[in-house]
Amino acid sequence: PEVTVYDCMDELSAFKFASPELFENEQKLFKKADLVFTGGQSLYEAKKDQHERVFAFPSSIDAEHFRQARAITKEPEDQKNIAHPRFGYCGVIDERIDISLLGKAADLRPDWQFIMIGPVVKISDQDLPRGANIHYLGGKDYQNLPAYMAGWDVALMPFAINDSTKFISPTKTPEYLAAGKSVVSTPVRDVVRSYGENGLVHIASTAEEFVAGCEKALQENAPQRIAKADKFLAKNSWDKTWSEMQKLTLEQAAKGIKLASA
In DSSP notation, 75-127 reads PPTTTTTS-SSEEEEES-BSTTB-HHHHHHHHHH-TTSEEEEES-B-SS-GGG
How far apart are alpha carbons 81 and 234 in whole angstroms?
35
pLDDT band at 230; cut points 50, 70, 90: very high
* Spatial CB neighbours of 106, under 8 Å, sequence gap ≥ 6: 112, 114, 129, 131, 133, 134
Q: What is the dihedral of CA 198, 99, 61, 29, to 10 degrees?
A: 100
Domain 63-234 is classified in which CATH homologous superfamily?
Glycogen Phosphorylase B; (3.40.50.2000)
Contact criterion met (CB below 8 Å) for 107 and 131:
yes
Q: Which helix H or strand E contains 32, and what residues bound it?
A: helix 21-32
Task: Say what the pLDDT of residue 60 is.
Answer: 84
pLDDT of amino acid 261: 42
Under the banding of pLDDT at 50, 70 and 90, the label for residue 236 is confident
Which of 65-79, 175-189, 205-219, 242-256 is predicted with the least confidence, judged by mean pLDDT?
Answer: 242-256
- Which is higher by pLDDT, 101 or 7? 101
Instruction: State pTM to two decimals.
Output: 0.86
Check if the beta carbon of residue 151 is closer than 8 Å to that of residue 180: no
Residue 79 has pLDDT above 70, yes or no: yes
Instruction: Calculate the CA 145 to chain-centre distance.
Output: 14
262 pLDDT more than 50? no
Mean of the per-residue pLDDT values for the chain?
92
Return the SS3 of 237: coil
Q: Where are the domains of the chain?
A: 5-59+237-261, 63-234
